[in-house]
Amino acid sequence: MSAIRLFVFLFLFACSGVALATDMSSIHGIVHDPQHFPVANAEVTIRAASSELAFHARTDASGAFDLNAIPIGDYRVTVAATGFVPLDATITVVSGTHTVLHFLLRITSATETVTVQATQADSVTPTTTINRQQIDQTPGASRTLGMEMITDYVPGAYMTHDMLHMRGGHQTTWMLDGVAIPNTKIASNVGPQIDPGDIEQLETDRGSYSADLGDRTYGVFNVLPRNGFERNRAGDLRFYGGNLGDFEEQISLGDHSAKTAWYTSLTGSRSNYGLATPVAAIYHDSTNSESIFASVIRNQTSADQLRFSGQYRQDYFDIPYDPSTTDWQYQSGYYNSTGLRDAQQERDAFLIANWVHTVSPKLLYQVAPFYHLNEANYNALPTDQPVATTWHQQSNYAGMQADLHAELPQNSFAGGFYSFYQAENDLFGLQVNDGSAASVPNRAAATDAGLVEFYISDHWRVNRYITLMGGMRFSIFRSLLNESASYPRIGATVEIPRLHWVLRGFYGHFFQPAPVETVSSALLNYVTHQSGQNTFVPLPSERDEEHQFGIQIPERGWLLDIDNFETRINNFLDHSNVGESNIYFPIAVDGALVRGWEMTLHSPELAARGRFYLTYSNQIAEERGTVIGGFTCSIPSDPACNIGPAYTPVDHDQRNTLNTGITWQLPTHSWFASNVYYGSGFHNGLAGANLGPYNGAYLPVHTTFDVSGGHNFGKRWKASATIVNVTNHRVLLDNSITIGGFHYNDPRMVYGELHYRFHF
């Protein structure tokens, strides 16, 4: 693999002179009077809704202005001109778009407030944006292990067997300030990438990406971290306590000057409930977490911005078990966890340096080198029955992202590259204590890999109502297999005049690099002697074909979004355990098909108090064929070896998922929020086996209700209380044999938070 290192190293430095920042957008605005004559010399200010970050422009003789390098998020726009009433508007900026705004200034004595509808006439990507206030007020979302900021607001997103799934798959990308944090793993980590307390804005994209957004078909999470622009030598101290032995503390500090803003936080937590349990009761399930995060933004000149972001995080999880030898889980012989006392420790660290240079209001480039360390260490007591497992995975990534973005009269052009080198160091060991096979002493194994990707993308605004998108992404991946891909992506949006409905369509291909895994000869010998002619085969990368159609309908501040998608997958990446061990090795299945309808509905501010939302997904996720990569076997009648030519539901297939809720601002600085979740039930892996109480094709329907409320005591103190799963409704979510065996949904969690704001 030394050739990979040299290839990636030389490529990074040869190409370091090129680079649109994918967390940024550009805005083109036109200001006119009631007769549609341009208003020249109008002063335009765009200010972030939750901080002091601001951008300024002045209209030219044609009434036009341009602003570049605008981060994602919610903004207030003010337009002022001599002889006209000042205008106040609100907009939402999503990444990678060129937003065109028209502002009408009236010559009247009345002050007017305008809400610009959040339709995206320049983007084919279905997008959900979550802000800081929503994270704070959504029940459960502010916990360090909470995923409600995604699952409550993004259709087709849910947690099962301790993993986030979106649109029928596992692999998602986390981006920070538009820079993708590399991670080829699947099913190895349990904790989230970034603590919710460190997020200012979260943009979730699900499929239909332009070529600059990468290849993780199922979901991209673009994080705008907290940065200090909202603080003046200010700090926040947060305490959290709950009924399951929950304790969490976070202290954060931030400040800004005319040119520099900084933010840092230190977080620690522990709980008696960490991972989903194999039975309704909780046994051996404690967890603790510590993290530190830092962000610095420096506007070195009017044309140069430097960003530095870094994090170190570690999580510890006891693996829950079922202590009973009389219940159906034990007596079925399907999975025996009574003798296991396992644990997993995870470490994750990254460092990103990002230089954004604005050549002109219509041209910028970005260069961002990065480093990422990811570890997942699974350990067991040596006396565990039947097998004590050791499985350590360490991945080191080093690379660079570079993007160039240019705005032409009718085109938004983007081009660039993304590349990293990966060093993989793993350790495997099995202590077989039931005499069924020979033990495997701990053995280390190492390998490396490299990825280089180029992309080119263009948005062509044919006229005010029609935009065409086209692009190509070229990938070269060198690992245990040498692979390459050249894949197109095309799309279009059409805005219906007067109604402002936006129709969109997309067709494209994606290349997802396979997990880089090492296998020691000892482990290979162990699985070879298991029944079924087991072996390890290098994983091929996943290749996806997606088409999608959607519509956005704005009406009096309400926004309805509906889309239909189909993803046809070759080399579907999934996971499987090795024998009786807890080594969950990635596999590649010959093919898969995911189809679905999705809907989101968001209200305007109701009665000047609150907002309502609803997300719904009807989805079918199926797979077919043989296991062609990873941990494979050759038992003709065993579905673990050959699913067969017909499509069969995957273990995380849930046909109907719905979340709906409301956040209401009460008088006297108080608020209330709620969420109702409905799931139609996940696929039953024991259907027809007459094992246990559930014999049908799907496990039980489940509905949960969450509430939270809070109150501000002046400017310094804030208190809130949350109940997750108010009725304590418990059901078996899935019987997929992953970490801890079967998985029940979360129990009732009652906790309170106390915030103290201070200056230093």
Asked whether residue 110 falls in the same domain as residue 146, the answer is no
Say how far apart CA 420 and CA 5 lie, in whole Å: 9
The residue segments making up the domain with residue 58 are: 4-115
Which domain-ending residue is among 63, 89, 115? Answer: 115
Which domain-ending residue is among 80, 95, 115? Answer: 115
Asked whether residue 505 falls in the same domain as residue 593, the answer is yes
Strand runs (DSSP E) across 578-609, as ranges?
Answer: 584-602
Please give the pLDDT value at position 525.
60
Asked whether residue 67 falls in the same domain as residue 135, the answer is no
Q: For residue range 226-247, what is the model confidence (pLDDT) as tens digits?
A: 988 888 899 999 999 999 999 9
Asked whether residue 456 falls in the same domain as residue 345, the answer is yes
Asked whether residue 169 falls in the same domain as residue 107, the answer is no
Asked whether residue 60 falls in the same domain as residue 151, the answer is no
Asked whether residue 447 falls in the same domain as residue 576, the answer is yes
Please give the pLDDT value at position 520.
60
Please give the pLDDT value at position 10.
41
Q: For residue range 97-117, what is the model confidence (pLDDT) as tens digits?
A: 777 787 888 775 444 444 444
Asked whether residue 91 falls in the same domain as residue 156, the answer is no
Say how far apart CA 53 and CA 46 lie, in whole Å: 9
Task: Output the pTM of the full model.
Answer: 0.86
Please give the pLDDT value at position 14.
41
- Cβ-based neighbour number of residue 636 at 10 Å: 7
3-state secondary structure of 12: helix
Please give the pLDDT value at position 141.
94
pLDDT band at residue 434, thresholds of 50, 70 and 90?
confident
Report the percentage of the chain scoring pLDDT > 70: 89
Residue 528 has pLDDT above 80, yes or no: no
CATH of residue 19? 2.60.40.1120
Asked whether residue 81 falls in the same domain as residue 128, the answer is no
Please give the pLDDT value at position 387.
79
Which domain-ending residue is among 115, 139, 163? Answer: 115
- Find out whether 401 and 417 touch, Cβ atoms under 8 Å: yes
Read out DSSP for 626-682? EEEEEEE---TT-TTTB--SS-EE-TT-BSEEEEEEEEEEETTTEEEEEEEEEE--B
Residue 435 has pLDDT above 60, yes or no: yes
Asked whether residue 106 falls in the same domain as residue 136, the answer is no
Q: For residue range 693-723, what is the model confidence (pLDDT) as tens digits?
A: 888 999 999 999 999 999 999 989 999 999 9
Please give the pLDDT value at position 71.
82
Q: For residue range 26-85, what is the model confidence (pLDDT) as tens digits?
A: 788 888 877 667 788 899 998 887 777 788 888 888 888 888 778 887 888 889 888 888
Please give the pLDDT value at position 693.
85
> Strand pairing of 717-724 and 749-759?
antiparallel
Asked whether residue 195 falls in the same domain as residue 46, the answer is no
Please give the pLDDT value at position 23.
61
Q: Which of 455, 367, 457, 454 is nearest to 412 (CA)?
A: 457
Please give the pLDDT value at position 526.
61
Which amino acid, 599?
M
Task: Find the range with the poorest average confidence among 265-279, 339-353, 572-586, 679-693.
Answer: 572-586
Residue 3 has pLDDT above 60, yes or no: no
pLDDT band at residue 9, thresholds of 50, 70 and 90?
very low
Residue 632 has pLDDT above 80, yes or no: no
The residue-averaged pLDDT of 122-149 equals 92
CATH of residue 478? 2.40.170.20
Count of the separate structural domains present in the chain: 2
Asked whether residue 21 falls in the same domain as residue 142, the answer is no
